[in-house]
């Protein structure tokens, strides 16, 4: 577990009233008040939900989130490569989600308006409640960058004749498992069109 991942998990664990030991969160009892706190329209809390609404409803954020997602994926893959770990698995996704969340948090907090007290403290308090990792994971889930990056990775590993066949919807048998996601399949065809021109 990477240091920033451990710190994020420790923070979440403590908010749940648990005790963080080693790499595990030990929670004796989750009461109904706490459970409802972690369920606001399917989000961790109101602050996380409202931040997601803002990010997903602002067109200017779409490209930013896509870029952040791609940068984080590459950064995590590079770190894993350096340490001899492979890409994939739940911790891989969690590492990317933490990276995305931290980047978004830095941007949001860096653009926080200068306002007088007590409003400044209230805004800071609300931002402290946002579950940035949950937002990062939502960006992965919604495919803000995952379908495109997966398609580009698959495309780079195809031969020239396989890439040319994609223009006609001919997908090599060896990638059938990788293209169950329609977005990935369509992006592969788009990439072939870009490389070989339209029919």
Mean pLDDT, all residues of the chain: 79
Say if residue 1's pLDDT is above 70: no
pTM higher than the cut 0.75: no
**Residue 107 pLDDT grade (very low, low, confident, very high; cuts 50, 70, 90):** very high
Q: For the segment 122-159, what is each residue's pLDDT rounded down to a tens digit?
A: 999 999 999 999 999 888 876 645 666 678 778 888 89
Which pLDDT score is estimated for 110? 92
Quick one: pLDDT at residue 27? Answer: 59
DSSP 7-33: HHHHHHHHHTT-EEETTEEE-S---HH
pLDDT of residue 198: 57
d(CA 58, CA 4): 28
Give first-to-last CA distance, the chain, whole Å. Answer: 48
- Classified as helix, coil or strand, 159 is coil
Which whole number is the average pLDDT over 190-194?
85
Spatial separation of the C-alpha atoms in residues 138 and 157, rounded to whole Å? 28
Please give the pLDDT value at position 197: 72
Does residue 77 surpass a pLDDT of 80?
Answer: yes
Closest CA to 74 of 49, 92, 57, 47: 92
- DSSP structural state of residue 180: -
SS (H, E, C) 75-137: HHHHHHHHCCCCCCCHHHHHHHHHHHHHHHHHHHHHCCCCCCCCHHHHHHHHHHHCCHHHHHH
Q: pLDDT of 8-57, one tens digit each?
A: 667 766 665 667 777 666 655 544 444 444 567 678 888 998 898 888 77
């Amino acid at each position: 577990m990477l240091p920033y991942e451990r710190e994020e998990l420790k923070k979440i664990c403590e908010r749940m009233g648990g005790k963080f030991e080693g790499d595990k969160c030990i929670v004796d009892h989750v009461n109904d008040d706490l459970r409802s706190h972690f369920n606001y329209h399917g989000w961790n809390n109101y602050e996380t939900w409202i931040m997601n609404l803002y990010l997903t409803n602002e067109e200017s954020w779409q490209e930013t989130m896509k870029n952040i997602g791609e940068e984080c994926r590459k950064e995590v893959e590079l770190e894993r490569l350096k340490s001899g770990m492979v890409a994939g698995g739940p911790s891989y996704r969690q590492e990317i989600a933490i990276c995305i969340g931290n980047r978004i948090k830095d941007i949001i907090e860096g653009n926080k308006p200068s306002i007088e007290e007590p409003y400044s403290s209230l805004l800071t308090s609300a931002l402290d409640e946002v579950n940035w990792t949950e937002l990062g994971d939502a960006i992965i889930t919604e495919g803000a960058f995952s379908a495109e990056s997966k398609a580009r990775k698959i495309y780079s590993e195809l031969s020239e004749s396989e890439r040319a066949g994609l223009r006609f919807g001919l997908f090599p048998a060896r990638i059938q498992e990788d293209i169950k996601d329609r977005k990935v399949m369509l992006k592969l065809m788009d990439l072939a069109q870009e490389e070989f021109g339209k029919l």
